[in-house]
Structure 1
Amino acid sequence: MQFKAELWNQALPSPSVAYWAHSGTGLYEGKNKVDDLRLIATLYPETIHLVARKDADIKSVADLKGKRVSLDEPGSGTIVDARIVLAAYGITEKDIKAEHLKPGPAGDRLRDGALDAYFFVGGHPTGAISELATSSGISLVPINGPEADKLLSENSFFAKDTVPAGAYKDVAETETISVAAQWVTSAKQPEELVYNITKVMWNDATRASLDAGHAKGKLITLKNATTGLGIPLHPGAERFYKEAGVLK
């Protein structure tokens, strides 16, 4: 089966971005809603990393007050996720020395001692953070406790996550949260097309390819395909999941 370009090219936004676009909130506050966004599958978790300089004495999100912190660029999904995390701990951008840098420059400034911490959203281990941990040393700041629990209860597209010990050099196991990469399409796509694409996504051959590829491939499972939705399923995908017993 060949994928239509307009369908395939809409893969993998974070559910928070998809939710904001569909509901006209967050990054899309005051903009036109993207009402026809539909989900094919939730794929794998993208971990929220709060990377700190090893000697910055940042043990918790609360310790960011007064620190130099990059939240990522304006308009990015990361900056909105970062603001949600900060707000959960009673922190605003006025409480920190906020910078708005891409992860690469943020890592460079952290290495040079010009930045205390930065937010990054992505799977672990991430190459740039691994290099930084090896060359300069880092700490990962946990996002946990009652503040994180409240955040999770109020935002269904976040989930608990853990960066395992050793994912980055000399960094212990760290509790945090994640958002999931998702595969989305338009409600305008034919039901039969999306049904067949979803069916192929979960056949034995695809399973073997996912397991043999990137480490994240093993985390792409039928069991998780309908979790943390945020937006409606496409009717074609929904039909397959009901037939597969994933949905009632």
Structure 2
Amino acid sequence: MTVTRRAALLGGLALALAGCGDSYRGPERQITIASGEPGGFYLAFAEVLAAELTRAEPRLHCTALRTEASVENVERVRDGTADLGLALADIAQSALTGGSPFGKPVPLQAVGRVYENYLQLVVRAEDRLTDLRSLAGRPISVGASRSGAAQLGERVFAGIDVPITALHLPLGDAVAALRDKRIDAFLWSGGIPTPALAELNRTTPLALIPLTSVLPQLRKAYGPLYEQVQVPAGAYRGVGSLPTIGVANLLVCSPALPTDVAAAVVRVLVGRAAELVPAQAVGTQFLDVRTLIGTQPVPLHPGAADTYRALHG
């Protein structure tokens, strides 16, 4: 099915949902969503999704787990310590093929493509650092060790042969280190705006470095998972519009996830899309029901696929 046809079919999902009487009919159970770090978009979105899922399907008691993000989330889904997880498409691809850091293939499926992730290379505005090469030799946090940002950060800097002193700091520690001038930059992969960055920007004016100069190399080496996206002007106070690298954010699961649970999650993603936007991102990000089934390279869970078909008729 082409992307265009998919978009057309899914464009009517919200209307079709109103006439769908199905609901979760299984036993009461606890559902966990492996998400991300405090101050980041993953955790904020997972908390909103958990609340909406519990409200819509009272027999499902859903909670969001704090994690280091994509890599840990895939590991938790694999190990059965989470039912659902948020993961960047490139990390999911590595998991499916057994690439680094997983070592052997992970049998992942997806419930939906939820948001676009923006790779953000954050520096202090006063330092006037304007491109990747200006960071040569500097201490930089490339993300928590089990995050998608860390994996992509290694690919970015390897692609341009810029030597840096790479640290693996969680978001909160990276924010504090940049503020206190113990590092000169940090890499973060998340929604726009990211709450922790917006808060830091109130006291330490920030700038973002454009990253699209390495996009051709990334696409040549890893395929079309990476695309150019635009950080909108004003997403962070004082920061103008600029291009960066975007990666799809997927809601993944194990093939063992019960069909009725997958179906219940799909109904909430489609029917409550307008409510599934964390407060800090209203106006800059939204959940587009037309692209929910675009989970490549991860196949849709059969329960999710059947529900999407049922909703669009």
Q: Deviations over 1:150-176 (max 9, x none)?
A: 323534333322211111121111211
Counterpart-to-counterpart distance in 2, 1:72 and 1:211: 24
Q: Deviations over 1:24-44 (max 9, x none)?
A: 11221x3x3212x10110001
Find the partner of 1:209 among 262, 275, 284: 275
Counterpart-to-counterpart distance in 2, 1:245 and 1:11: 25
Aligned amino acid, residue 216 of structure 2: D
Report if aligned partners of 2:119, 2:189 keep a CA contact under 8 Å in 1.
yes
Report if aligned partners of 1:158, 1:228 keep a CA contact under 8 Å in 2.
no
Find the partner of 2:139 among 47, 64, 68: 68
Counterpart-to-counterpart distance in 1, 2:146 and 2:278: 35
- 1:220 aligns to 2:292 (yes or no): no
| Root-mean-square deviation over aligned CA pairs | 2.8
Aligned amino acid, residue 22 of structure 1: L
Aligned-partner SS, 1:219:
coil
Counterpart-to-counterpart distance in 2, 1:65 and 1:74: 21
Change (3 A) 1:159 1:219: farther
Counterpart-to-counterpart distance in 2, 1:46 and 1:199: 23
Counterpart-to-counterpart distance in 2, 1:169 and 1:155: 34
Report if aligned partners of 1:123, 1:216 keep a CA contact under 8 Å in 2.
no
Find the partner of 2:153 among 77, 82, 90: 82
- 1:232 aligns to 2:305 (yes or no): no
Q: Which runs of 5+ in 2 are unaligned?
A: 1-22, 34-82
User: Which structure is richer in relative contact order (CA contacts within 8 A, separation 6 or more)?
Assistant: 1
Residue in 2 aligned with 1:96?
A: 164
Count of aligned pairs between the two proteins: 237
Report if aligned partners of 2:274, 2:286 keep a CA contact under 8 Å in 1.
no
Per-residue deviation, 1:211: 6.7
Per-residue deviation, 1:55: 3.1
| Mapping of residues 49-198 of structure 1, within 5 Å | 49-91=120-162, 95-145=163-213, 147-153=214-220, 154-191=222-259, 194-195=262-263, 197-198=265-266
Aligned-partner SS, 2:200:
helix
Counterpart-to-counterpart distance in 2, 1:166 and 1:89: 29
Report if aligned partners of 1:69, 1:115 keep a CA contact under 8 Å in 2.
yes
Counterpart-to-counterpart distance in 1, 2:282 and 2:29: 24
Change (3 A) 1:214 1:223: farther
| Mapping of residues 5-24 of structure 1, within 5 Å | 5=30, 9-24=83-98
Report if aligned partners of 2:136, 2:164 keep a CA contact under 8 Å in 1.
yes
Aligned-partner SS, 1:172:
coil
Q: Deviations over 1:153-208 (max 9, x none)?
A: 534333322211111121111211122322122222354653454245323xx245
- TM-score, normalised relative to structure 1: 0.81
- TM-score, normalised relative to structure 2: 0.66
Per-residue deviation, 1:82: 0.8
Counterpart-to-counterpart distance in 1, 2:247 and 2:296: 11
Change (3 A) 1:115 1:196: closer
Report if aligned partners of 2:193, 2:281 keep a CA contact under 8 Å in 1.
no
Q: Which runs of 5+ in 1 are unaligned?
A: none
Counterpart-to-counterpart distance in 2, 1:196 and 1:132: 37
Counterpart-to-counterpart distance in 1, 2:206 and 2:130: 12
Report if aligned partners of 2:198, 2:236 keep a CA contact under 8 Å in 1.
yes
Identity of aligned residues (%): 27
Change (3 A) 1:151 1:105: same
Residue in 1 aligned with 2:119?
A: 48
